A = this chain, B = another copy of it.
Amino acid sequence: MTSTDTAETRASALHERDHTCRALGIRLDGATPGHAQVRMTVADTMDNGLGTTHGGYLFLLADAAFSFAANTYAPVAVAQAAHVTFLAPVAAGDELVATATERARRGLTGVYDVTVTRDGEPVAEFRGHSVLLPGRTR
């Protein structure tokens, strides 16, 4: 079993147990060590009072990609902090893709960048910091 097989297996297992992904229709496109991609079609129950999609759902999608990427290895990694920049408004019906890339790992901490795109154009940029929970493998 290669490390890519393991990465895909670990991310898939996490995705399958994820109630939020099931409830929101977040699919896992794939994962390799330190990387993951997810996608979601925006529902109209995700609108805010201004008629656009709530930024919280863009964050959530990016955060899911981040979590899958950070958990392509053992032990379990959890989010510690994140920064998000909203680049363009999003609306119900849009299909969003979030692609997470590992920027650094040092000791127990990791840094991941996630770009959320619609039709290939960035709508949000996310940077997440993870911390490992030593001794917990899943």
**Residue positions of A touching B, CB distance < 8 A:** 13-23, 44-52, 54-57, 59-61, 63-64, 67, 76, 78-89, 103-104, 106-109, 111, 113, 122, 125, 127, 129, 131
Contacts and interface: CB of A to CB of B under 8 A. Distances in A.
A61 B61 CA distance: 15
Q: A interface, by DSSP: helix, strand, loop or mixed? A: mixed
A81 B79 contact: no
A78 B64 contact: no
Contacts of A21: 49
Nearest to A125: B103
A80 B106 CA distance: 10
A56 B23 CA distance: 13
A107 B87 contact: no
B76 A80 contact: no
A67 B48 CA distance: 9
A125 B127 CA distance: 10
Contact of A54 (B45, B63, B83, B131): B63
